């Protein structure tokens, strides 16, 4: 597993993420946004971050465009979490997707959110070959989520 991480810039952390989280907490989804809550693997405390929830062929996925970040490590340890949209809370379990199965998921994710997150994919986009998508697959964790409540 790669330790590839692309840290968001000041504007993303202090303005964009906060604005999307604020709107999402009030029930306004911005292009599929949710607030992800997952228990910290060390502290056990709930940690939250805005995420893009992708639905493809009836299944739901969380993709980590910035790589192996804190929420992905916590998700592996916790095995699931909660997705918040306003007062609606979905409790879910998560299964990590194998790298070989990621190309169609990464392609669909980039089709929808490339303008927002494309810079984190090393020049790979929705029109890239499966080979190019496989090359970056290990840098971008993907979790299939199953709602349990």
pLDDT for 31 beyond 90 = no
Is the whole model's pTM more than 0.85, yes or no? no
Question: Distance (Å, rounded) from C-alpha 55 to C-alpha 61?
Answer: 6
Give the CA dihedral 103, 72, 64, 26, nearest 10 degrees: 130
Tokens matching residue 17: 């993420």
Structure tokens at 39: 């228990």
Span 61-69, average pLDDT:
95
Judged against a pLDDT cut of 80, whether residue 17 lies above it is answered with no
Q: Would you state the pLDDT for residue 3?
A: 47
Mean pLDDT of 83-97: 94
- Under the banding of pLDDT at 50, 70 and 90, the label for residue 7 is low
pLDDT tens string 39-59: 999 999 999 988 999 999 999
Class of domain 10-147: mainly beta
Give the pLDDT of residue 149: 79
Q: Could you tell me the sign of the dihedral formed by the alpha carbons of 14, 20, 21, 23, in that order? A: positive
**Is the predicted pLDDT of residue 20 greater than 90, yes or no?**
no
């Amino acid at each position: 597993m790669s330790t590839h991480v692309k840290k968001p810039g000041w504007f993303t952390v202090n303005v964009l993420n906060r604005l999307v989280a604020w709107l999402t907490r009030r029930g306004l989804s911005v292009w599929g946004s949710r607030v992800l809550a997952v228990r910290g693997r060390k502290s056990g405390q709930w940690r939250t971050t805005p995420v893009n929830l992708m639905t493809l062929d009836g299944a739901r996925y969380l993709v980590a465009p910035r790589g192996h970040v804190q929420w992905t490590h916590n998700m592996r340890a916790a095995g699931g979490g909660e997705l918040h949209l306003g007062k609606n809370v979905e409790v879910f379990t998560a299964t990590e997707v194998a790298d070989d199965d990621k190309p169609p998921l990464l392609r669909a994710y980039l089709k929808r959110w490339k303008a927002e997150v494309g810079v984190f994919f090393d020049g790979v986009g929705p029109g890239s070959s499966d080979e190019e998508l496989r090359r970056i697959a290990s840098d971008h964790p993907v979790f299939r989520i199953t709602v349990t409540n």
